[in-house]
Chains A and B, each alone.
Chain A
Amino acid sequence: MLISSEDKILVQGITGREASEMVAEALAYGSQIVAGVTPGKGGHSVHGVPVYDTVKAAVAAHQPTVSVISVPAAGVLDAALESFANGIQLCLIMSERIPRKDTACLVAAARESGCTVVGPNTLGLIRPGVAKLGTIGGRVDNVRKSFLPGKTAILSRSGGMTTEIASFLTSRGIGQSIAIGVGGDPIIGSNFTDLLRLLEGDLTTESVVIYGEPGGTAEEELADYLNANPSRLRINAFLSGRFVDDMEGVRFGHAAVMVEGGRGSVKGKAECLRAAGVHVAERFDDILEGLS
């Protein structure tokens, strides 16, 4: 699902410091990064990957279908529109601190062009043993130590917690079919509901671990979806930030984490997820329950 070992990958903003480090680790893990784009730097190369001035030129030369965007916040909307206009099917946006309006505009444009967007503000996604997009897992030795191929999917609002959960599952012999940092912003391209729909059709996946936080509506929306569409999957959720429930209007951690007017509390999210048949873990260590 989302990415296979044959998929060709483009990196927009490839000459940036973080993007360049990410490319080295992703290549070492086996991801097929075939081209990069940085306007004005066409003709250079980064870790052996050729750089182009436009997505159009990179697509013409290498036919990538996936793009990873790591450009400064002010340029993200334009970079995303450029990838949609050139037929990219999956666009993962690592950049953070993007104006909310720009994210909403690119999400609207992605719907029209049929491109799946993951992020913004994500560390990436990985199919253990297949490929990874983004800096998820960090150095390749840590990626191999933390992620193990298997049947449990991880969907997480935190990139760090994606790896923490994977590492914890791996240490107990529970492998992962895919692990996705969905992004820490209030508006993202693919939320829990969008991704769960995809997981329903992915027969290697038997169970899902969800990591949620205060603020936003992702968990409530998922509960509504599950009430209307019972899932074949075992779903465990862990929600952090209970202390935020008592601190209205203060933001902690990710941009989306804030409780306002009683909306977005962990307590409320836990109640509606439980009512929809999700197993909500009280302590982090309880996320293992019922997984094999």
Chain B
Amino acid sequence: MPEEITSQDLKERLALIETMIAEGRKQTQSWGWTFLLWGIAYYVAIAWASWGSSISLIGSHQLAWPVTMIAAVILTIAIGSRKRGHPATTKVGHAIGSVWMALGISLLLVLPALSISQRIDAHTFVAVVAAFLGCANGTSGFILRWKVQIASAAVWWIASVAACFGTDAQLMAVFLAAIFLCQILFGIYAMSLDARRRRPQGEVHA
């Protein structure tokens, strides 16, 4: 044995191991800004699609969604690569990142295809987008056991079902409210949590 050890010392070492393993596992990457960015992108696309045709400089409102979404993808990649990666990666972090990447690919494939084939209307569009976002938020929320994100998923699921009914005006109200709650508000909340988590922890010396 390296030195004379007391049972208190042994207990302290076991506690240290447990604390440090838990500390490592609770590391998550900071992606709150993407919720905010995409929330703003949805609002820009909706505003452009709704009122863009009356402003000649903005061009055809049919381009609103594809152009805004492509711009949001480029911005996400650009900002993501400029921000330094999280200093510790976990399997949970990889799993959640993969879910969101798969969501992005799915939406970027299926929505343009539906649009080109002209087999989509505003109600179907919102129902599909909301269902996908509910699925990704739900998966992340259940993995992280994060009630706020599970609540966000629930809002998207409700919006998805509500989009199948009602008038166009009601549809717009539901979609705008869901974006505000689940993208803008949730994004700001996640960013404020990230900022609080970055405070240094206790010290351990050799």
Partners in one complex: no
Chain A interface (Cβ within 8 Å of chain B)?
none
